[in-house]
Amino acid sequence: MCGIVGYIGKRQAQPLLLGCLGRLEYRGYDSCGIAILGSSTEVYKDAVRVKELEKASPQFTGTAGIAHTRWAPHGEPSRINAHPHCDCTGKIAVVHNGVIQNYQQLRQQLTSEGHNLVSETDTEVIPHLIEKYYNGDLEKAVAAALREIEGSYAIIVSMTGEPALVVARRDSPLIIGIGDRENFIASDVPAILDHTNMVKYLEDGDIAVITPDKVIVRSGGVEIDREEHKILWSVEDAQKAGYEHFMLKEIHEQPRVIRDTLGGYISAPEPVTDLALPGTTDSKNTLILACGTSYHAALVGKYVIEQLAKTPVRAELASEFNYSGQASAGDRAIVITQSGETADALKAIKRLKDEGCRVIVITNVVGSTASRLADHIVYTRAGPEISVAATKSFIAQLIVLYWLALPYSTADVRKRGNQIRGLRQLPVKVQQVLDDDTPIMECARYLSGFDNVFFIGRGINYPVALEGALKLKEISYIHAEGYAAGELKHGPFALLGSGTPVVAIASPDNTYETMLTNIKEVKARHSPVIALAAEGDDIIGELADSVITVPQVDPIFSPVVNTVALQLLAYYTAKERDCSIDFPRNLAKSVTVE
Ligand code: F6R
């Protein structure tokens, strides 16, 4: 996610802002830049690290300025797309976090009015709109520009000759750090904690005018006093936004991640150019390839596309496909990779392209190698994932897969409408899982005492069992196996007993009754059972030893709520065992060897 910082005061702004940007590096970024307000506005930016920017940038003189780390949502990482962005005169500079949904219309309109927009970003429309409305009052021009914008933003605006910075927010965080005859602005507390621990949090719709001595906040044109808060966290704590680990923070970000991913791509689900599923236009195959957690998303994707579009799909491990898988010219392949750098996924993409397949890449990282190799890219909007264990990127991948599949749904109009509504309700449902984590913590305390655990699921929740087991083993070091519930009796039964708990996913779909039978079989072998069931299930409590309840959703979306519950189960179990949760032993965030 992008980071923004601003400063106005008595010190030279350039070194101070670069230091603040360095404090935001942990969030991940692909480019950065600064604008310093002296007798003119001086901008320096590039697709480089903050340290490199510091070395390469000329020394600018000025005691006010703005700065940005960009994590490209669209528009490749490049000097031209990096922030700050300026108007035609070069006097107005803007840094922005968020997504402007109607930027294409605004861009066309501004271009037809003679504005020269040079980047591929949505942000660049903002300085040009401000230029258009500027009539001697920067705050009014910002307010007028923002009235035209649909979407989310946290912005800082500077203008040559203006003694103040103007900032505003909607659906993107922005704080003001209060200093002694100097003030700071940032998207995140860690950016400014070296300088002040007194902050005001802006609310949606606020516009503030900031000078070295004053902060004037207005909401709806009326001046308003936003309370000052003292931050008691260290910089490291602040980077985790108060959560003990990045993993927990990232799990809790998931309602926002779903909203952002849907907001970025779905006005109404529309077919993706190049996807055209088999059965709809021709007889070519559809393959989904990935590794690790992304492979579990691929398996859910297989079920989703098969159920919605009633057409066969193959999901394979990229590492296996590379040696034995088959693909033919014209086949459509979806490769899922959070990092876009996983060696096996890249090798698969190259092979698919050599075979003449069309390759759609689902990735979280703009400009990654996978995105550069793809014929068609679909970005997840999870934001940078710091914790080695993938959580929010998996959920974002599922959301993209639903979006890819929904246009091909064979359901009638009413059912399809319900499915789209169900998808949009997921942030609220996930929030319910996050809010109701006490039973999950209790189950985690119990599980933490065992050395072996089975996770069982059926149908669309079989991959969720695999993912639940993977999360548990990688961060808690408990040996965990994910199994298709029907397969337990074909071997693993030999391992069941009072020392081997089973986590059973019992979602209310066409597999439910059989899952109840499987739970009874497991109980008969004395294995303790933790059931993951939907709200309103009155039967499961009589069979299982403990129940984790998740909200009711359309069965096709059950992997989302179930996975979030299992992520929390793994997290709290690992915490009980005092493990290195964010950086588990022997693991790397990006696996660049085969
Ligand atoms: C598990 C995990 C890994 C990755 C796998 C693929 O929590 O993070 O299993 O899912 O290494 O990585 P990407 O998606 O970057 O290709």
Q: What is the pLDDT of residues 356-381, one digit of tens each?
A: 999 999 998 777 789 889 998 888 88
- Mean pLDDT over the full length of the chain: 92
Residue 279's pLDDT band, with cuts at 50, 70 and 90, is: very low
Report how far residue 389's alpha carbon sits from residue 370's, in angstroms, rounded to the nearest whole number.
20
pLDDT at 1 over 70: no
Which pLDDT score, from 0 to 100, does residue 476 have?
A: 98
pLDDT at 568 over 60: yes
Q: Which residue has the tokens 């109980």?
A: 523
Q: How many CB atoms lie within 10 A of CB 487?
A: 14
CA angle 70, 72, 75 (to 5 degrees): 125
Cα(386) to centroid(ligand 1), Å: 12
Instruction: Count the alpha carbons within 13 Å of 274 in the hemisphere toward its beta carbon.
Output: 13
CB 27 within 8 A of CB 383: yes
Report how far residue 467's alpha carbon sits from residue 291's, in angstroms, rounded to the nearest whole number.
12
Cα(484) to centroid(ligand 1), Å: 21
Report how far residue 513's alpha carbon sits from residue 510's, in angstroms, rounded to the nearest whole number.
7
Cα(559) to centroid(ligand 1), Å: 18
Which pLDDT score, from 0 to 100, does residue 325 have?
A: 84
Please compute the mean of the pLDDT values over residues 383-391 and round it to a whole number: 90
Catalytic option among 2, 32, 86, 579: 2
Counting ligand 1 atoms within 8 A of each CB, the residue from 247, 288, 293 with the most, and so the one to mutate, is: 293
pLDDT at 468 over 60: yes
The answer to whether 347 is a known catalytic residue is: no
Counting ligand 1 atoms within 8 A of each CB, the residue from 288, 338, 361, 369 with the most, and so the one to mutate, is: 338
What is the per-residue burial (b if ≥16 Cβ within 10 Å, else e) of 519-554?
bebbbebebbbbbbbbeebeebeebbebbbbbbebe
The answer to whether 589 is a known catalytic residue is: yes
Which pLDDT score, from 0 to 100, does residue 269 have?
A: 45
Which pLDDT score, from 0 to 100, does residue 275 have?
A: 55
User: Please, which residues have CB within 8 angstroms of residue 387's CB and are 6 or more apart in sequence?
Assistant: 245, 246, 247, 250, 581, 582
Instruction: Count the alpha carbons within 13 Å of 575 in the hemisphere toward its beta carbon.
Output: 18
Comparing 330 with 234, the larger pLDDT belongs to 330
Give the ligand 1 atom nearest the CA of 389: 7
Ligand 1 pocket by Cβ (under 6 Å): 291-294, 337-339, 342, 345, 389-390, 470, 474, 590-591
- pTM > 0.95: yes or no: no
